[in-house]
Amino acid sequence: MRKLIAGNWKMNGLASSLAEIEALRGLTGEATCDIVVFPPLTLVEKAVERALGSAISVGAQDCHAEFAGAYTGDISAAMLAEIGARFVIVGHSERRSSYLEADCAVAAKAAAAHRAGLTSIICVGETRQQRDEGKAIEVVRAQLEGSIPDCTTSTNTAIAYEPVWAIGTGLVPSIAEIEEVHAAIRHVLEERLKRDGTLVRILYGGSVKAANAAAIFGVPNVDGALVGGASLKASEFSDIISAVA
């Protein structure tokens, strides 16, 4: 399966950061994996222009579940598609915790993304407390079951397993822990999507760096990465991309 390496800039980046897209272009060339960058919304359209003709796709970090309407401050998936976004992240833990997004809201956003022709990256992951209580698998299974809409296919969806305690902390689960959760996610996908569930890409996210990327990419059912902090600088991000065998 061709790996997918995604870089989530979160709320970082002014126009000057677009230079990183150009630098990334130069550093990645004919990439052996799919690359997608998620700049803040203000830079999406310009990032699409800078990435044109390269191996880099551009996505947005969230979308609304409705096509249009009285939702002040929100952006629909169709609006994102219109400015050239091809992907959208839904259900990132920062949105689940800050905006209390429930699984059903995440599923509705993913469905809206698919209707607009976007590929969704649906995020799931347990907190430290849930892991310490031995509930990581149970929590991730339940989140996933509730967050994938009926229209999910291997072409319109990737799943990102991001343990909340590993995001931005420098902490990473052990290889065995990553393997166990990714296998559980694969199992849920196969239950729901049958054969097509074997083809959905499952990304790992949470403190991925050049130094740990190769080991993580070697884990069964790890089909790429969702990278936060280490995606902001093209040189660092391209080192992670180079770790794809």
Angstrom distance (rounded) from CA 134 to CA 168: 22
Indicate the residue among 173 and 197 with the shorter CB distance to ligand PGA: 173
Contact between 229 and ligand PGA (CB under 6 A)? Answer: yes
Contact between 206 and ligand PGA (CB under 6 A)? Answer: yes
Angstrom distance (rounded) from CA 29 to CA 79: 29
Q: Which of 217, 220, 206 is CA-nearest to residue 242?
A: 217
- Give the residue closest to ligand PGA by C-beta: 228
Indicate the residue among 197 and 229 with the shorter CB distance to ligand PGA: 229
Q: Does residue 133 have an active-site annotation?
A: no
Kindly state the number of chain residues that form the binding site for ligand PGA, as judged by CB under 6 A: 13
Among 47, 216, 226, 240, which residue interacts with ligand PGA (rule: CB under 6 A)? 226
Q: Which of 81, 59, 91 is CA-nearest to residue 162?
A: 91
Contact between 60 and ligand PGA (CB under 6 A)? Answer: no
CA atoms within 13 Å, Cβ hemisphere of 66: 7
Contact between 44 and ligand PGA (CB under 6 A)? Answer: no
Q: To the nearest whole angstrom, how small is the minimum distance from the Cβ of residue 238 to ligand PGA?
A: 15
Indicate the residue among 26 and 168 with the shorter CB distance to ligand PGA: 168
- Catalytic residue, chosen from 20, 94, 101, 162, is 162
Q: Does residue 162 have an active-site annotation?
A: yes
Contact between 163 and ligand PGA (CB under 6 A)? Answer: no
Indicate the residue among 111 and 213 with the shorter CB distance to ligand PGA: 213
Among 15-23, 74-82, 161-169, 175-183, the segment contacting ligand PGA (CB under 6 A): 161-169
Contact between 167 and ligand PGA (CB under 6 A)? Answer: yes
Among 21-29, 144-152, 176-184, 220-228, the segment contacting ligand PGA (CB under 6 A): 220-228
Contact between 208 and ligand PGA (CB under 6 A)? Answer: yes
Total Cβ atoms within 10 A of residue 10: 18
- Catalytic residue, chosen from 20, 64, 92, 182, is 92
Indicate the residue among 54 and 212 with the shorter CB distance to ligand PGA: 212
Residues involved in catalysis: 92, 162
What is the binding site for ligand PGA (CB under 6 A)?
8, 162, 167-168, 205-208, 226-230
